[in-house]
Structure 1
């Protein structure tokens, strides 16, 4: 269902939100967009919580930070809540993003259509490999990393995605920060050092898999039967003594 955006709803213009709440707002927004597409005008806190995968008490507390408490017996206005969350997340206009590193992962990210529907556009692609420079990906031409300052200024880019090998990620980050980028999404398996005022979010697929491996290991341990332990030397001697004693009584 198409929606007309009318600006942020009532409440604090820019509330001071806990980090945990900020991390959950995109989940609420995703669920709300899905509800809107299905034609829902309102949703209860229980319904929205279930769609977002959280408990309703936590959702109500998160939304209360935005000045939203819902209407008893009616719930939340889906369109207005979308407006307010998008306003708080800074998604009222599409943000330009630079992507550095166009290997296999970079190619996939550059072609991901979901960025556009979430308020972002990949505005520039960069790589240091001369063999990659000039390549066309999803309507964009891969630029050399040396062109970074010029393109960042032209496209008003403040957010960058790093999809380089780990050994190159810090150097790339330094160049991005020098060019004026203040937020980085890092897919490289390493920790980045950045100056104050620059935000970094890390996505490490291997770590996520290792966490899942832990849960699989724990489930296996909980469902496994306890092993049958063979008696030690002392236990064997006791068994033999009991057996001999029993034979003596019966004789």
Structure 2
């Protein structure tokens, strides 16, 4: 089934890796088939939502029988492009960047960090996992030589837009941004922003409301 990427709601695309991860766990447990209800309970979504999400890509299960775990996992992996290994560059090797560079979980899941870069001369030459930190000035050459389309940005906020501009100018189309700032990119570039502090603040909202509620009840 040939589907335009823009035809699928982004929220559905964001759920597909979660489906793949859960199906992978099921396969490791030796489970051969799973119902949409059982899969939904593991993920925290309704069975109807799973059926609707998967219907964008075809028919994968049978009423009353459920999904073949290996078959569905294989299809979702192909939909996500995980039948190949994606080379990625990482820009920024502060404490967060160093942790990302050393994380082996990327490579086992089809993401291969092939280059790590920073503009701090004291960090150039530092060995992080399988990579040696290179200067930012080498970034355009590496991006073009290896046809890199994915990048991780873990630089301070003041440098984020500058770095993203260099990435985009040299062919990068997907950026995972850890910098605490929303960067601007052309429409054909996909960006995912991860700000741990902002995510924690979205939870402190609920906790503070709960504290206020308890305080009011005590009076």
TM range (shorter): over 0.9
Matches within 5 A, 1:87-126: 87-126=78-117
Task: Give the stretch that moved more between structures: 13-22 or 80-89.
Answer: 13-22
- Compute the displacement of 1:142 (Å): 0.8
Runs (5+) with no aligned partner, structure 2: none
- Compute the displacement of 1:60 (Å): 1.1
1:194 has 2:185 as partner: yes
In structure 2, what is the equivalent of residue 137 of structure 1?
128
Cα distance between partner residues in 2 of 1:56 and 1:39: 22
4+ aligned runs moved over 4 Å, structure 1: none
In structure 1, what is the equivalent of residue 3 of structure 2?
14
In structure 1, what is the equivalent of residue 197 of structure 2?
206
Kept in 1: contact 2:36–2:47 (CA 8 A) = yes
Cα distance between partner residues in 2 of 1:146 and 1:212: 39
Cα distance between partner residues in 1 of 2:51 and 2:171: 37
Report the aligned-residue RMSD.
1.4
Cα distance between partner residues in 1 of 2:102 and 2:205: 32
- Compute the displacement of 1:198 (Å): 1.3
Kept in 2: contact 1:186–1:200 (CA 8 A) = yes
Task: Give the stretch that moved more between structures: 88-97 or 99-108.
Answer: 88-97
Matched residue pairs, number? Answer: 217
What TM-score does the superposition give when structure 2 sets the normalisation length? 0.94
In structure 2, what is the equivalent of residue 162 of structure 1?
153
Matches within 5 A, 1:36-55: 36-55=27-46
Q: Deviations along 1:108-147, whole A, 9 cap, x unmatched? A: 0011122123221111100011111111110111111111
Say which of 57, 65, 77 aligns to 1:74.
65
SS of 2:179's equivalent? coil
SS of 1:224's equivalent? helix
What TM-score does the superposition give when structure 1 sets the normalisation length? 0.82
Kept in 1: contact 2:147–2:171 (CA 8 A) = no
Rg (Cα) greater in structure: 1
